[in-house]
Amino acid sequence: MGERASPASKLPHKEGTWFAVPLRTGGYAVGVVARASGPIVFGYFFGPECERVPDSRAVMLHRPQGAVWRGMLGALGLINGAWPVIGQSVTWSREDWPLPEFVRVDALAGRAWKVTYSDDLNRVSETECDPCLAQSHPDDGVYGYGAVEIVLTRLLRSS
């Protein structure tokens, strides 16, 4: 009997996968999978808006510091083909694409927590912090692919 492929091996993405995100007003943003744990990924996203799906050589020049948005998301857009895969980085290094700390804010209580995840996207720690940190850290939540499209559309249209 042959070995069976794991469900994760059938996914169209892994760390270092570059993809295009359709914007709600037309055009595309670019994203890269920096961490993957099945259907949940952490990604970096880049502008400027492109009229069509960009060439793989151009997108792989992006670096983390140039990201317009970073976040944890469900990969349904990749899985169902709504987000076209552009290519795979040949020399992917986690060290070059760090997983940041996240911040979760309870606006009603005026409190916030800094949350750390492992590279396989499991929560490691949570400590109370200043709510102002939310301005410089990604939100501790998992976005649906439609929500990511809306966030990127707003960010790239306002820049």
What secondary structure, in 3-state letters, does 8-32 show?
HHHCCCCCCEEEEEECCCCCEEEEE
Q: Is the per-residue pLDDT at 6 higher than 60?
A: no
Q: Tell me, what's the pLDDT at 139?
A: 96
Q: Using alpha carbons only, give the angle 140, 103, 115 rounded to the nearest 5 degrees.
A: 80
The pLDDT of 40-58, averaged and rounded, is: 95
Q: Is the per-residue pLDDT at 134 higher than 60?
A: yes
Strands (E), the chain: 17-22, 28-37, 40-50, 69-74, 85-88, 102-106, 111-117, 123-129, 142-143
Task: Report residue 5's pLDDT band, with 50, 70 and 90 as the boundaries.
Answer: very low
Structure confidence by residue, pLDDT tens digits, 65-89: 999 999 999 999 999 999 999 999 9
**Residue holding tokens 């492109």?**
50
Q: Tell me, what's the pLDDT at 66?
A: 96
Q: Tell me, what's the pLDDT at 159?
A: 67
For residue 79, give the amino acid letter: I
Share of the chain above pLDDT 90, in %: 87
Of 123, 11, 32, 122, whose CA–CA distance to 76 is shortest? Answer: 11
**CA gap 151, 159 in Å, rounded:** 13
For the entire predicted model, the pTM comes to 0.91
The average confidence (pLDDT) of the chain is 92
